[in-house]
Amino acid sequence: MSLLFSPFSIKSITFRNRIGAAPMCQYQATDGLVSDWHQAHIGALAMGGAGLIIMEATAVRADGRITPGCPGLWNEQQIEAFRPVLKFAQSQGCVMGIQLAHAGRKASAEIPWISGTHLTDAEGGWPTISPSPEAFDNDGKRLWKAPKAMTITDIKDIQTAFVQASQRALKAGFEYIEIHAAHGYLLHSFLSPLVNKRDDQYGGTLANRARMLLETVQAVQTAWPSDLPLGVRLSMTDWIEQGLQVEDLVEVAKWLHELGVDIVDCTTGGATPDSRSSINSGIAQQPDMAGQVRKQVGIMTQAVGEITDAQQAEDILQSGKADMVLLARQLLRDPYWPRHAAKQLGDDVASLMPPLHKLFIGKNP
Ligand SMILES: Cc1cc2nc3c(=O)[nH]c(=O)nc-3n(C[C@H](O)[C@H](O)[C@H](O)COP(=O)(O)O)c2cc1C
């Protein structure tokens, strides 16, 4: 059996294989409520055979949504909306995770296929927050909104919102939480010297800039059961000299490991327009960065970035760079990718299938 299709456990949770669906914004929620779209999208990924699905960036507060179409977990109705989505995916043998997030100064944006740029208050936008008061960017068309620099009370309020969202995630039936500390959103903004210009205990040295993330993790741990997996997504580099470097993030991963975080999902970029996006051409290097974290820290990692081929995924695992691979765009192209991968690697395709598919198409996915 390949490593890709070997079952894998973190604490009390066993994944049927080491293929995870990376978190992917769908922009199909209303008032933070997931919809029929999510039922179909997540349902397809679950039927396709992934071992883990990490639900898209889900806001811990209404002002933490990237766009008005992003889901949230700041109220009880949102728990109810998630239930049928989870029920089906879990019935297919898939572990359901959720990425909890606050978008910080990159919140209040328009849905990308409309414009992706900043929404003014008159257009239905809302005030944003960040460690420091500088706007994300002048995108050439319009200035992004200047965020409010967070007070200590604001910081504590956000940590409380992460705790409450974790409690709601548990109630909804999620078995895995990933804290989003990447791509220029709030927790990454604290980590990155490109964004964080504070001179209090949350700014300055790397240890101070990491304080917000580490305190948030500790707060979530008070609410999230200790036998369920807790992961963190980190942007492993800001891609520019003045920004975060891989060595900084290895240090942060060490601190996360000491706190008891189980796994680090290694992505890159997003802090500023110059520090590239999460789907830029450099991301094929991300699995190597995951390897550095795994080797130097001894924590489990997830590798992500232009993984499209079964042998490529298997090689990442075999070379010890990661414990699990995450795919995003390839699973949008083909939610049944895990079946094709199993066939390519000579693994048991039928075990990934519901009985009807097994009966009629068996080993030829
Ligand atoms: C449509 C889309 C939505 C995404 N939404 C999120 C998200 O909600 N949270 C996140 O951390 N990354 C998000 N990403 C980044 C992916 O999780 C992943 O890191 C990136 O696409 C690289 O993987 P890939 O080469 O397999 O696509 C998104 C990517 C795409 C294409």
- The pLDDT tens digits of the residues spanning 309-347 come to 999 999 999 999 999 999 999 999 999 999 999 999 999
Number of folded domains in the chain? 1
Residue of 329, 334, 337 to test ligand 1 pocket, by largest number of atoms within 8 Å of CB: 329
Contact assessment for residue 295 and residue 246, using Cβ atoms and an 8 Å cutoff: no
Centre of ligand 1 to C-alpha 285, Å, is 15
Centre of ligand 1 to C-alpha 215, Å, is 25
Range with the largest mean pLDDT of 70-79, 111-120, 280-289, 350-359: 70-79
State which ligand 1 atom lies nearest to the alpha carbon of 331: 26
Asked if residue 318 belongs to a domain, the reply is: yes
Residue with tokens 């989870």: 86
Question: Three-state SS string across 133-178, please?
Answer: CCCCCECCCCECCCCEECCHHHHHHHHHHHHHHHHHHHHHCCCEEE
Centre of ligand 1 to C-alpha 328, Å, is 6
Residue of 279, 309, 330 to test ligand 1 pocket, by largest number of atoms within 8 Å of CB: 279
* pLDDT of res. 115: 85
- pTM (predicted TM-score): 0.98
Q: Does residue 279 have a pLDDT over 90?
A: no
Average pLDDT, the chain: 96
Average pLDDT over residues 98-125: 93
For ligand 1, atom 10, the nearest C-alpha belongs to 23
* pLDDT of res. 131: 98
CATH of the domain at 291: 3.20.20.70
Centre of ligand 1 to C-alpha 36, Å, is 21
Average pLDDT over residues 224-249: 97
Contact assessment for residue 45 and residue 21, using Cβ atoms and an 8 Å cutoff: yes
For ligand 1, atom 2, the nearest C-alpha belongs to 24
**pLDDT band, residue 121 (cuts 50/70/90):** confident
Asked if residue 341 belongs to a domain, the reply is: no
State which ligand 1 atom lies nearest to the alpha carbon of 308: 26
**pLDDT band, residue 140 (cuts 50/70/90):** low
- Considering the chain, what percentage of its residues have pLDDT values greater than 70? 99
Average pLDDT over residues 137-162: 89
Residue 186: what are its φ and ψ, rounded to 5°?
Answer: -55, -50
Q: What is the DSSP letter of 271?
A: S
Alpha-carbon span 326 to 339, nearest angstrom:
15
Centre of ligand 1 to C-alpha 333, Å, is 13
In this structure, of 89-103, 268-282, 330-344, the range with the lowest mean pLDDT score is 268-282
**pLDDT band, residue 55 (cuts 50/70/90):** very high
The residue type at 185:
Y
**pLDDT band, residue 141 (cuts 50/70/90):** low
* pLDDT of res. 138: 64
Show Cβ contacts of residue 87 under 8 Å, excluding neighbours closer than 6 positions: 173
**pLDDT band, residue 40 (cuts 50/70/90):** very high
Centre of ligand 1 to C-alpha 178, Å, is 14
State which ligand 1 atom lies nearest to the alpha carbon of 329: 27
Asked if residue 45 belongs to a domain, the reply is: yes
In this structure, of 131-140, 212-221, 292-301, the range with the lowest mean pLDDT score is 131-140
Asked if residue 363 belongs to a domain, the reply is: no
Asked if residue 247 belongs to a domain, the reply is: yes
Of 88, 81, 100, give the one whose Cα is nearest residue 23. Answer: 100
Q: How many residues in total does the chain contain?
A: 365
Q: Does residue 362 have a pLDDT over 90?
A: no
Token pair in block for residue 72? 């949230």
Asked if residue 214 belongs to a domain, the reply is: yes
Asked if residue 150 belongs to a domain, the reply is: yes
pLDDT in tens, 176-188: 999 999 999 999 9
Active site residue 185: yes
* pLDDT of res. 365: 84
Of these residues, 27, 176, 185, 202, which one is catalytic?
185
* pLDDT of res. 253: 98
Alpha-carbon span 214 to 22, nearest angstrom:
23
Residue 115: what are its φ and ψ, rounded to 5°?
Answer: -160, -30
Average pLDDT over residues 207-234: 98
Q: Does residue 148 have a pLDDT over 90?
A: yes
The residue type at 277:
S
Average pLDDT over residues 230-243: 97
Packing angle, helices 337-345 and 310-318, rounded to 10: 70
**pLDDT band, residue 137 (cuts 50/70/90):** confident
Asked if residue 355 belongs to a domain, the reply is: no
Cβ burial of 293 (10 Å; 0-12, 13-18, 19+) is buried
* pLDDT of res. 151: 98
Domain that holds residue 97: 8-336
Q: CB within 6 Å of ligand 1 — which residues?
A: 22-25, 56-57, 99, 180, 182-183, 233, 267, 278-279, 283, 304-307, 327-330
In this structure, of 16-25, 69-78, 120-129, the range with the lowest mean pLDDT score is 120-129
